[in-house]
Amino acid sequence: MSAAPVQIAVLEDRGVVSVAGADAEKLLGGLITNDMALLDAERPGGPPALYAALLSPQGKILFDFLVVRAAGGVLLDVARDRAGELVKRLTLYKLRAAVEIRDLSAEYAVGVLWDTAPVSTGAMVGAHIFADPRFSPLGLRVLADVRSVAEVFARTGAAAAPPEAYHAHRIGLGVPEGGKDFAFGDVFPHEALLDQLHGVSFTKGCFVGQEVVSRMQHRATVRKRVVPVIGEVPLPSGPLPVLSGETEIGRLGSVAGVRGLALLRLDRVAQAARTGVALTAGGVPLTVEVPPFATFDIGAPHETA
């Protein structure tokens, strides 16, 4: 059987924020959920990147993003409609730090390559190419200067694909995306799988919301998570309630054919399985899976305090 064709898609709903200056990494290091020191780690094939979030003091996700080094600082690959707000939020924390924070979404295109890696990660004129740090089968991210994006993408040798093809790939792997599978300002990192997707450091020390996140980690109080669901027929577009019988136990987010992602109460999913109660979304019966990268068990007991 021949290998799947390499595909590349431009993600027009992604933006780029630059955090540059002598204090850029120090500033981010004290704010975000992951450890900036990991950007110094050796990684075969190209520069390392981070997945991280900026939380509210109550521990809820306000922004999630990918972080990669660039000249004089770092670039943040973030939801485009949140880029301006991220700049404002980071500026509030800046104080007298030697940092310049800018929304460069109009200057950069964000793309993704998947199925195989036809190019080496790392520097290419006009672009930053790096392995997605969440889950390697997601592929490579491409942050390219809009003036050279056509040339950069052509040099990858990949076939152009629509964003929907990438999202079907992402959904099939069980990887949630902020704004599609969970609402910003409404969920904790564990619920959005940041603890499963290398998005939180539990050893780095303080960051905004750290006490809440640490407590959830050590007390095992995670009652709901984003998990893959499979419909008996193609799923309706979300967001829609997921029902156990007549009781709502979560919300359906991204869908691609029969597959989708839903933020669900895991204890209620386990209870439905034990009692034989059907789970549905928009009238479509569905089953629940554990993501291939996950270490949790849907059937395990969960605290209900």
Average pLDDT, the chain: 90
Q: How high is the pLDDT of residue 305?
A: 33
Q: Cα–Cα distance between 196 and 122 in angstroms, integer?
A: 25
Query: φ and ψ at 172, to 5 degrees?
Result: -60, -30
Omega before 285 within 30 of 0, i.e. cis = no
Phi-psi region of 19 (alpha: psi -120 to 50; beta: other; left: phi over 0): beta
Residue that the structure tokens 């809440």 belong to = 212
The 3-state DSSP class for residue 214 equals helix
Neighbouring C-beta atoms of residue 219, cutoff 10 Å = 10
For residue 108, the surrounding DSSP H or E stretch is strand 108-114
What band does 123 get if pLDDT is binned at 50, 70 and 90?
very low
Question: Can you list the domains of the chain with their CATH numbers?
Answer: 7-173 (3.30.1360.120), 220-288 (2.40.30)
Which pTM was predicted?
0.92
Reported as a single tens digit per residue, the pLDDT across 156-195 is 888 889 999 999 999 999 999 999 999 999 999 999 999 9
Reported as a single tens digit per residue, the pLDDT across 72-121 is 999 999 999 999 999 999 999 998 899 999 999 999 999 999 986 555 54
Q: Out of 59-68, 149-158, 173-182, 199-208, which region has the weakest mean confidence (pLDDT)?
A: 149-158
